[in-house]
Amino acid sequence: MNAGSIVVVGASMLDLISYVPRLPVPGETLHGSSFRMGYGGKGANQAVMAAKLGSSVTMVVKLGTDVFGDGTVENFREQGVDTTHVHQTSAAFSGVAPIAVDEEGRNAIIIVAGANDHLGIEDVEAARPAIAAANVVVCQLEIPIDVTLAALRIAREEGVQTILNPAPARTDLPAEAYTLADIFCPNEPETELLTGGTLHTPDQAIQQAEVLRRYGAGAVVLTLGERGCLVVDDEGATTFPSDEVEVVDTTGAGDAFVGSLAHYLGRGATTRQAAARASKVASFSVAYRGTQTSFPEAADLPMDMHGVD
């Protein structure tokens, strides 16, 4: 294994971002104040976040043979992400994510997976050498679930630590997904959907994280938005606060967290060390507009965020 080596198996989307005075209700048309395009998708975002912090990152993804796909390949290269296992297909357009962001930084997102749905188990198997050489493998739920499970199985077979970010959450998540996750990293709504419980209080958050562990997950790192994150594992439960910042745009904050969590774990941090730092990185990202464009470089962070001591 190479220190700081990460493989991300997931989706890539082109973000189509509209800034609006408030989020529209069904049937309503609103005038937006501005529009921008950016590269996104949970897998791609997490890969870019880890690469920006200095990790060696390989992305496993499928794109369309269109201008969006070509641009995404170039963006990965510019961000320092290895594109050996970035494939393109003419069977579907590249994935897109239209996003509305209101004046308080809240967002609403529609995902059209497109070519991401054509990523196959054979593509992941072809990436086995890269997975075997990695320190951490990161997966989400934006690609076919059988492909995600295949990636997690290969990582387990090769003795590589796994992170599963169960987003977007689904009530029919197979039991195997929990047992293959060394670190299970949901947010609050995802946790409520998966457990059927509520997270209105800190005690409830711990209780629902324990439910996820009973499902088979290893450590649970539950993101709590502006309140930071909660780690629940064999050592108990610990909450790590986020930094107080003026929120401009929360789009991609969860991916900033997961990508930086993988980065620090890949550098040898404990789960608690990595979660504490990831919470601060996510706080940094919400102070800026955009998704990947809001992610900090290592040089943007305080010196005490660079190591794992």
Known catalytic residues? 255
For residue 15, CA distances in Å to 18, 41, 92, 206 come to 10, 8, 17, 33
Determine the Cα–Cα distance for residues 45 and 159; give it in Å rounded to an integer: 25
41 Cβ neighbours under 8 A, 6+ residues apart: 10, 11, 12, 13, 61, 95, 97, 116, 142
> What torsion, rounded to 10 degrees, do the Cα atoms 58, 76, 170, 91 define?
-100
Q: In what order do the strands lie in the sheet with 107-109?
A: 34-40, 13-19, 95-101, 107-109
What Rg do the C-alpha atoms of the chain give, in angstroms? 18
